[in-house]
Structures are given as structure tokens and as C-alpha cells.
Amino acid sequence: MIIIKKDNNEKLKNQIDSKLCAFNREHCEWLNKKAKANNDEYSEKEQNFIAYEDNKVIGGAIGFVKYSWYFLDLLCVDEKYRGQYIGTKLLKQIEEFAKKENLTGIRMETWDFQARGFYEKNGYKVFAEIKDCPPNTICYFLKKEVKK
């Protein structure tokens, strides 16, 4: 008899993760090559970009590299400094980093009341959306490829 139950045991989570990683390497040539080169592409490599004025943090971009993409997790500029192209400069820094590291591109998500227009103005394209995530909100997924 098969039983399914909620279980937050870390050891069991790692077993499932290991099985999926092995399956993925078997079926994805890129992951297989990375594994053979001892390059763990399942781990995230954090890369953050911070904007300062007089040693005070006024904004930043928080993200990580995984699967040859930069995942932009958070981008925020203090309200007082908005409209001064700080967000755009942060994006340009990320794009230069991605090019230097030979990444495929940058991807992120934003909600309908946040910064979709800002990202589109900077060359990012919506590739998916989810309605009601959170409720009464649209979550947009955007990307910009930098690899030529």
C-alpha cells in the first residue's frame, strides 16, 4: 500500500533531490557535462550589486547564478533616489556581469503594481504570467538574453 504524508525531514528531502539531480543529468547534456567537470550547477552562486551614497545603502539588486542564467531575485531603490537611473545602472551592472561570465541571460519576476514597465524599458520581455499570485495580483516573468 502506498502512503503519502507531509514530511519535512531534511534527510528525505536530500534523497529526493539526489534522485531528481541524477535523472536530470542523465537527460540533459549540459548538466551532465557540468557534473563531469565537477561543476555543481544545482547550487546557487549569489551575486549582489549594491548602490551607495556616502557609505549609505540606497538600493541594490540581489540575485544568484544557476543553470547559466542570472536570477534577479530582488531589485529595490530607496524612494528618494528613484528617477535618477540607479535601477537602470544596477541592471547594466548585472548585464555586464552576465556577459563577462558568458551567461545566457537574466530572468526575474515582478508583480503588476511593481516595475514591469521599468524592465521592459530596459529591454526585458515578458515570457509568462500567473494571475492571482498573490490573490488579485498578476506575477510577470521577464527575461533578457545577453549571450550572442
Domains contained in the chain, CATH given: 1-43 (no CATH), 45-145 (3.40.630.30)
Cell triple for 1: 500500500
pLDDT of 39-78, one tens digit each? 665 567 899 999 999 999 999 999 999 999 999 999 999 9
pLDDT of 90-108, one tens digit each? 999 999 999 999 999 999 9
What are the C-alpha distances in Å from 130 to residues 73, 115, 143? 17, 16, 15
- Compute the residue count for the chain: 148
pTM listed for this prediction: 0.85
Beta-carbon count within 10 A of 109 CB: 19
CA–CA dist 30, 27 (Å, integer): 9
Residue 125 — pLDDT band, cuts 50, 70, 90?
very high
Cell triple for 119: 524592465
pLDDT at 30: 86
CA–CA dist 41, 57 (Å, integer): 31
Pairing state of beta strands 138-145 and 45-46? unpaired
Please give the biggest Cα pair distance in the chain: 65
Torsion region of 16: left, alpha or beta (phi above 0 gives left; psi -120 to 50 gives alpha) = alpha
